[in-house]
Structure 1
Amino acid sequence: MDALRTDEGRAGRRRRPWSLRARMVLAFVAVAMATAAAAAGAGYAAARASLVAETQRGAVDTVRDQVTRLAPEIAYPPDQDALDRLRTALGPDAMVTYEGLTSASGDALGLIGDELRSAVAAGDRLAVQRVADDAGPHLVLATPVLLTGVDGAQRDSGVDVYVVRDLAATEAQLDRWTRVVVLTIAGALPLAVLLALLVSRSVLRPVQRLAHSADELAAGNLAVRLAPSGRDELADLATTFNHTAAALERSVGELRRREAEARRFVADVSHELRTPIMALTSIMEVLQADARDRSAQELELATMAVDRTRRLARLAEDLLELSRLDAGVGELRLERVDVAHVVTDTVRTRGWDEAVTVVAAGPVPARVDVRRVDVAVANLVGNALRHGRPPVVVEVRAVPDDRTDDVLVTVTDHGPGLPPGIDPDRLFGRFTKGDSSRTTSEGSGLGLAITLVNARLHGGDVTARDSAEAGATFELRLPRRLDAAAGPDPEEGGTRA
């Protein structure tokens, strides 16, 4: 059962979609990608701001130099030809105004807005504005032409210059940088996944070794130990596990030694008591026969002594049987029989025919140990007769399903049911008896325990529950083993427990 639970635990760990490794990898990749995105984004933003600022500064310096160089060549007040020459020198998408005169050329002059005109009219030496239209982003510059007198003082000539510069080249450069940033982040993803797998493997490998060792420890391998490596917390955990396993091994070893001594003591005592108890039973039976010719009181005392002596003999036999089973020397001598017939013989040979009804729809073939099935059924029926009320119904039937093919022996009495407030599993403990709500118990308290051991020796089980229609119901479930590969034939010598 421990090995089964261990396998189920391993399977459960494998089935979990969000394992520790997956969470570590996802967290590492998320942090790495967030860091890469933040770094690339910050670098892109800084580079973009620098490129835009540099482009704007270059355009401003170019316009300022052109205006400064061409301003002395203009006669004041300028005429239309002078404005046209200045506008032509400034390049495409330029406009020059002087009072009512305007010289303009280019398709982007519509981007020159009233805000920029107002800024120049208010006396700004240079006004700059970035605008965009369907053709893309543009830089609009506006500046008045200043005249410098002989005294070095500058005054407004009344000539205003407007220039529109295309930022398509700058935008294309920014697009190339954006693609580089995206490709950099995308290229960092597989690298981050690879690094995350390497890191998670180095971190989780000791944890996996610890989990495997814990599984072995749970399965009974108390000698399992870990080899600590390094000086980190995982090494400390491995050391703690080793100390715990060593302490557990010592404790379990001591408990096993004491348990073995106790079992050996019980077996020795039971074995030594058999002979004197058998002799004592014979003597008591002789005294009982002799007391029939004496008084009624002497006969009652002799009968009571015989009954108590026989009960003591049964207790010694039960203790000896349990000691054999606990020592693992019990054998299964499997043979193909009709379980319904075995149960019927069990009831008939013990003289329970009048109080017990055996119900079977037909033959129920199975490969079982007849002697152990007889003991198990006799204990269940005897328990029902002692603690319940007749009629006791024993039903034998096959229970095939998708997973198993079992034979089920159900024993139901018509008594008060299971003791209230007690766990049904406790009924199969040793020396467990009914409470005061039942009739006086005459058993040893070992019958159900022996039944449970014999059932599990077959690979089956026995359970108890309250019946809705009657009293208590006990179910003995045994594998049928009809396939020859499921167990040896009788001539093969049986199955070792």
Structure 2
Amino acid sequence: MTLRLRLLLAFAFLSIVTAVAVAGAGYVKARDAIVQRAQDNAVIETTNRVEQLYPLPARPPDAASLERIAGRVSGREGMALAQAQGLHAGTMDPAVITGELRSLVSAGYVGWQRVPYMGGVWLVVGMQMRVSGGGSSGIEVYVLRPFTSEIEVVGELARNAWLIGGAGLLLALGLGFLAARGVLGPVRELQMAAWRLGQGDLAARVPVRGRDELASVASTFNSTASSLEHHVGELRRMEADARRFVGDVSHELRTPLAAMTAVTDVLDAETASLPGVAGQAARLVNRETQNLTRLVNDLIEVTRFDSGTAALALDDVDVAEVVSRTLKMRGFEVTASLPDGVRARLDPRRLDVIVANLVGNALRHGAPPVTVTLYVEGSSLVILVADSGAGLSDEVLPHVFARFYKADSSRGRSEGSGLGLAIAWENARLHGGTLVAANRPGGGALFTLRLPLGGEQ
């Protein structure tokens, strides 16, 4: 549930509770006042009409006198009933009178009661008629009058209460919408600025309005973004300096390394004529010079990837031929499944680097037999390199393409530069493809290279 909807629901709930409390209380109070006033007026009117019949004749009441009394007290809208000593007269139905009201009148009280009659609500008022001495005459008078107008007024009050409540709800929703808009506007700006910051736009800022809590949050966000921009700028500058330093050093080392390689090649050719220790030293120097040359070349290649200057030299090649040449040139003893006729548009030099690094890694760190499989799947070229070793552990698998990552931290040096798999991954990415490492179900590591056949970058 969004914050806007929660605010609107809160305002709606508050308005409903307020409307029900205010309008309901007003309705109940007005209804009771109207009903009570109507009942009081009816009782007073009936009492006045009865009093106009005094003094009563001294003779016992008969049917004619009861009829006259009922006619005098009924009024224009009502009906009346007069009864005494088993006689009764008038237009009112005696069945309307409840036993409770009869008991109250018989006890000498003036009573009234609302009763359903003829599909509506009517008011029954009953009392005893007194003689001049204050004693009971034995005559009971009941007046039945409609309560319709009062009920209509009460109904009108109820409708007005509902209308007022509905208008209050609409007003509260309008105010809630405006309040939500005023509150959520800065929140939305803050959200968009945070999204831009997450996307790398370090210049994203939020306008600060007012001095409330939202303004404080916006100010804090701006200061945090400024600090982050400064630190990221420093890190980028330091990273650029480091890359430039590595690139410069690598290029500067190439010239003396070329001379050293030439010298060590001569020494390597003469190792057979050198004494035992001298021959071993010459072979060691030659091997380490080659390793150093390979490391410098790999560093130069990595700096090209980091600086964005690495580019593809695409060509329409026979993939099986390129892979076979890579395996033969390096003397790799592997089991290869390379069907003929698989052609793709790619950079053959970079494919050679990828295959050489993958197969060399499998031979160094895995166990034979190592297999290389080539096939086409949809619009992709797929090359699988698998070994039969122990495979990659769960700790190594996420970092297998990281630069200079060593699975065994206690191992001081390895034969490779530590950049081979990283360079292979970068070359696959440069082609618009993927390179994924996994473990085979039967044991051993499996590297899957996927490249687009059309050479898309």
Common fold: TM-score over 0.5: yes
Q: Which residue in the other structure is 1:23 paired with? A: 6
* Structure 2 equivalent of residue 116 of structure 1: 101
Structure 1 residues 334-343 or 61-70, which shifts more?
334-343
Q: Find the counterpart in structure 2 of residue 14 from structure 1.
A: none
AA in 2 matched with 1:381: V
Report whether the alignment pairs 1:64 with 2:47.
yes
1:214 deviates by 0.8
Equivalent-residue separation in structure 2 for 1:184 and 1:134 (angstroms)? 32
Cross-structure match for 2:91: 105
Q: Which residue of 2 aligns with 1:53?
A: 36
Q: Does 1:128 align with 2:101?
A: no
Contact 1:344/1:358 (CA < 8 Å) preserved in 2? no
**SS of aligned partner of 1:469:** coil
Letter in 2 for 1:469: G
| Alignment partner of 2:124 out of 135, 140, 145 | 140
Measure how far apart 1:367 and its partner are: 4.0
Q: CA RMSD, aligned part only? A: 2.6
Equivalent position amino acid for 1:433 in 2: K
On the 8 A contact 1:357/1:391 being kept in 2, the answer is no
The CA distance in 2 between the partners of 1:454 and 1:255, in whole Å, is 26
| SS of equivalent residue, structure 1 residue 332 | coil
One-letter amino acid matched to 2:72: A
Give matches, 1:219-230, under 5 Å: 219-230=199-210
Alignment deviations for residues 230-261 of structure 1 (CA, whole Å, 9 cap, x no partner): 11111111100000001101111111111111
* Amino acid aligned to 1:175: G
Report whether the alignment pairs 1:395 with 2:368. Answer: no
Task: Describe the SS at the equivalent of 2:415.
Answer: coil
- Say if 2:71 is the partner of 1:93: no
Q: Distance in 1 between matches of 2:453 and 2:86?
A: 115
The alignment covers a number of residue pairs equal to 454
Matched, 1:374 2:348: no
User: Equivalent residue of 2:135, what SS?
Assistant: strand
Please report how far the alpha carbon of residue 341 of structure 1 lies from its aligned counterpart in structure 2 after TM superposition. Answer: 4.3
Counterpart CA distance in 2 for 1:128 and 1:340 is 111
| Alignment of 1:463 onto 2:436 | yes
* Aligned-partner Cα distance in 1 for 2:183–2:141: 69
> 1:378-437 deviations in whole A, cap 9, x for unaligned?
21121111111122222333444xxxx54333221111101x341412111111133389
Counterparts of 1:156-171 in structure 2, within 5 Å, are 156-171=136-151
Aligned equivalent of 2:17? 34
1:131–1:370 distance in 2 versus 1, CA, 3 Å: farther
Tell me the equivalent position of 2:280. Answer: 300
Structure 2: distance between partners of 1:365 and 1:76: 135
Q: Equivalent residue of 2:81, what SS? A: strand
Could you state the TM-score of these two structures normalised by the residue count of structure 2? Answer: 0.91
Q: What is the distance in 1 between the residues matched to 2:132 and 2:403?
A: 120
Instruction: Tell me the equivalent position of 1:474.
Output: 447
Pick aligned residue for 2:336 from 357, 364, 384: 357
Percent of residue pairs bearing the same amino acid type: 44
Q: 1:399 to 1:215 in 2, by over 3 A?
A: farther
SS of residue in 1 equivalent to 2:373: strand
Q: Structure 1 residues 23, 428: CA separation in 2 closer, same or farther (over 3 Å shift)?
A: same
Any conservation in 2 of the 1:93–1:163 contact (CA below 8 Å)? Answer: yes
Question: CA separation in 1, counterparts of 2:108 and 2:204?
Answer: 90
| Shift of residue 73, structure 1, vs aligned partner | 5.0
Supply the distance in 1 between the matched residues of 2:452 and 2:71 (Cα, whole angstroms): 107
Q: Please report how far the alpha carbon of residue 207 of structure 1 lies from its aligned counterpart in structure 2 after TM superposition.
A: 0.9
Is 1:205 equivalent to 2:198 in the alignment?
no
CA displacement, residues 129-186 of structure 1 (integer Å, 9 cap, x when unaligned): 223356122222221123343xxxx332222111222222222333333333334444
| 8 A Cα contact 2:105 2:127, kept in partner | yes
TM-score, normalised by the number of residues in structure 1: 0.84
**Residue 6 of structure 1 corresponds to which residue in structure 2?**
none
Instruction: Tell me what 1:244 maps to.
Output: 224
Measure how far apart 1:366 and its partner are: 4.2
Question: Could you list the runs of 5+ residues in structure 2 that have no partner in the other structure?
Answer: none
- Letter matched to residue 130 of structure 2: L
**1:462–1:474 contact (8 Å) kept in structure 2:** yes
What SS does structure 2 have at the residue aligned with 1:345? helix
Deviations 1:71-113 (Å, cap 9, x if unpaired)?
A: 3255553222111111111224321122222223234x42211
Asked if structure 2 preserves the Cα contact closer than 8 Å seen for 1:24 and 1:196, the reply is yes
1:54 corresponds to which letter in structure 2? R
Does the 8 A contact of 2:108 with 2:127 survive in 1?
Answer: no
- How far has the Cα of 1:460 moved from its partner? 3.3
| CA distance in 1 between partners of 2:69 and 2:440 (Å) | 113
Q: Residue 175 of structure 2 corresponds to which residue in structure 1?
A: 195
Quick check: 2:334–2:372 contact (8 Å CA) kept in 1?
no
- In structure 2, what is the Cα distance between the partners aligned to 1:423 and 1:294? 44
Match of 1:4 in 2: none
CA–CA separation in structure 1 for the residues paired with 2:373 and 2:54: 121
Of 80-89 and 447-456, more deviation after overlay is shown by: 447-456
Out of 385, 391, 397, the residue aligned to residue 417 of structure 1 is 391
Counterparts of 2:225 and 2:40, CA distance in 1: 75
Q: Residue 445 in 1 paired to residue 446 in 2? A: no
Q: Deviations over 1:435-466 (max 9, x none)?
A: 3899x831111111212222333333322111
Cα deviation per residue 1:23-78 (whole Å; 9 max; x = unaligned)?
32233233323333333322222222222222212211211211122232555532
Q: Which consecutive unaligned segments of at least 5 residues does structure 1 have? A: 1-17, 488-497
